[in-house]
Chain A
């Protein structure tokens, strides 16, 4: 057994080194051979993938006999468990053949940028999934936060200001107000679920409708009367549009500010889930609610905390959406909750509660974004995109349930 393990380890290291070598060779021959327009940044990707897998293979711990037995899955089991990841890899290869421009650093960075807000949403919603609940109000909270923050962030000269007499306030103020507005509704979610033991599905559905109505009322206030909010102040728009290291070397598009923001939030959420009492309580309530009560966990307070924390993250996502697009309407965020839930499920968060890791969610969001982005990239009809998205969700849940049953 130990022998097979070390063989797979050696295989990974070797494979990685081969990728690395091909990448380096291609990197140097692509200019003289005129391959620039055919393979774009493929060598760089090969170098990165090769280096990562070689390093991983080299660093991997020797597994104990027991772990090895557990990990020693059959090939078909490996296929089912990673079906979506494999499907994504096949899709990426197909897209690269159809449209070689996909192999560009700027495309990879663009995918990361688009993943950022989705990831923030998914990290919020995962708390509600971890307690075997859900949150249908997430998307509308994004809309609320976008409208509220954008409405106070217009340039003084814009013809159609939401608040014509509002002075140019500091950027942080509308952001805080927008996030607080979301947290109020998050508290309402938590209260309905915790106090009346309502199923989160119906409680958050009710709150979703309330938020959309409230947001539309705000959006319809004279003199705005439901017009799309525009004329956003550049200092606010920078929050979502700024690019770091832009043009450091020839043709480098820069790293969107959204990526480091998402990374910081990931670290914070990872810390909360793994290193705090609150995080342990979330898993405990999700794993077995009765046992958690018996163990003396204050379920009411923890559930309130979960929904308020989640709504805070949706608020952040909404502010970033408004900044990124330099505008807002009450329809922003419509349906985002479903994408976020789907990404969580693809990333291994169990709908039965108690199971889910930050790393998995990051993977889920990336897989989902890459598939969506890739389909758009080769201009697949939006109707087919919907069909494919639905199939992915169904397959992911099916896999989740099979795993659950096996345990």
Chain B
């Protein structure tokens, strides 16, 4: 039923949109209600207009089966190239196989298929940011803060006792951000000690509950930093800290919190001095790069100059802070 509906929708969209575009892009986003993917979508739509290409974007409703059906529909409706944001990156092989048998190029975004999967088809690519880089930048934010604020080492043991709030289990970004933020702190000459950590599934409410439990069980005075895999969880931690009279403007009662994404609420919290900093995952840059690459591929151009290792375009991350607290 859903498949028929999606097909009908795609046909309707195809008929109604400009018929003279010679490049037709079919794109699936794992879930429309993801704030980060929204910026991505907007960037892709804008760039398609620039490139005079036609783009159809489908919501995969966080369900890999739905997404597979959507890919079939796209191929049947005759798109020239696919831009896919997999629901489950470990199940990308079937999409690569579909594209291969239809002989159209496929560009993956945001969730990276393994190198082995990409190697099975010469026209499969990945556009994204190196997840380890976001971790490194977040770790550096903390390290820089401790360099300029020696008093942040509350127990004066020369180590950084931090709490880690992790994203969804198994997500590439969760793994890389958790690992490389700690590496960056080490590289800056500090000794990081994870006194507590938990999976909060990218979610503000869960992060708030978990952080609250950590504050109660460890004592806020024993926590020296909070590293969250994304901004929503960082904001959840900020709310929990505020409920315990921390991060409300009193320099004595402050714990630096960092996130990743640079979404509007995080920037807002940073303006109020409640959050130390965040790392911008450049959705605009990635969305634009993905569409540029897709159009070039659909037109049969040689892209070997744009990609590294024959498969990848890496868009860099950027640190965001609001001056000195």
Contacts and interface: CB of A to CB of B under 8 A. Distances in A.
A376 B209 contact: yes
Given A106-B216, A231-B268, A377-B216, A241 B35 contact: no
A107 B212 CA distance: 10
Contacts of B219: 101
A329 interface: yes
A110 B215 CA distance: 11
Given A226-B38, A377-B213, A220 B32 contact: yes
A226 B204 contact: no
A227 B208 CA distance: 18
Interface in B200-217: 203-205, 208-210, 212-213, 216-217
B196 interface: yes
Nearest to A333: B205
Contacts of A376: 209-210, 213
B144 interface: no
Contacts of A332: 205
A225 to B, nearest CB: 5
B22 to A, nearest CB: 29
Nearest to A159: B264
B203 A331 contact: yes
Given A101-B219, A376-B213, A377-B216, A226 B32 contact: yes
A156 B145 CA distance: 31
A226 B34 contact: yes
Nearest to A374: B213
A58 B78 CA distance: 83
Nearest to B265: A230
B20 to A, nearest CB: 27
A216 interface: yes
Contacts of B264: 158-160, 227, 230-231
B244 interface: yes
A231 B34 contact: no
B265 A219 contact: no
Given A228-B232, A325-B204, A159 B267 contact: yes
B239 A326 contact: yes
A225 B38 contact: yes
Interface in B245-304: 245, 263-265, 267-268
Interface string A110-127: 100010000000000000
Given A101-B219, A107-B216, A330 B268 contact: no
A186 to B, nearest CB: 23
A227 B204 contact: no
Interface residues of A, number: 37
A379 B215 CA distance: 12
A379 B265 contact: no
Contacts of B204: 228, 325, 327, 329
Contacts of B232: 228
A99 interface: yes
B95 to A, nearest CB: 24
B235 interface: yes
B89 interface: no
B244 A253 contact: yes
A378 interface: yes
Contacts of B239: 324-327
Contacts of B208: 325
Given A158-B268, A159-B264, A327-B265, A228 B35 contact: yes
Nearest to B214: A379
Given A253-B244, A332-B205, A382-B198, A226 B216 contact: no
A102 interface: yes
A104 interface: yes
A159 B35 CA distance: 14
B239 to A, nearest CB: 6
A229 to B, nearest CB: 8
A373 interface: yes
Interface in B167-209: 196, 198-199, 203-205, 208-209
B21 to A, nearest CB: 24
Contacts of B203: 331
Interface centre among A228, A376, A377, A378 (most CB of B within 10 A): A228
Contacts of B244: 253
B242 interface: yes
B86 interface: no
A253 B239 CA distance: 15
A327 to B, nearest CB: 6
A218 to B, nearest CB: 11
B268 A378 contact: no
B114 interface: no
A379 B216 contact: no
B236 interface: yes
A373 B213 contact: yes
A329 B198 CA distance: 21
Interface in A63-122: 99, 101-102, 104, 106-107, 110, 114
Given A216-B33, A226-B32, A226-B34, A110 B216 contact: yes
Nearest to B271: A157
Nearest to A375: B213
Contacts of B198: 379, 382
A370 to B, nearest CB: 13
Interface in A364-407: 373, 376-379, 382
A101 B242 contact: no
A110 B217 CA distance: 12
Contacts of B216: 101-102, 104, 106-107, 110, 377
15 contacts: A99-B217, A101-B219, A110-B212, A114-B209, A159-B267, A159-B268, A225-B42, A241-B242, A253-B244, A253-B245, A325-B236, A331-B33, A373-B213, A376-B213, A382-B198
A-B residue pairs, 4 tightest by C-beta = A230-B265, A160-B264, A226-B33, A227-B35
Given A102-B216, A227-B38, A332-B205, 20 more contacts: A101-B216, A101-B218, A102-B217, A107-B216, A110-B216, A114-B209, A226-B32, A226-B33, A226-B34, A226-B38, A227-B35, A228-B35, A230-B235, A324-B239, A325-B208, A325-B236, A327-B265, A329-B204, A373-B213, A377-B217
Interface of A: 99, 101-102, 104, 106-107, 110, 114, 158-160, 216, 219-220, 225-228, 230-231, 241, 253, 321, 324-327, 329-332, 373, 376-379, 382
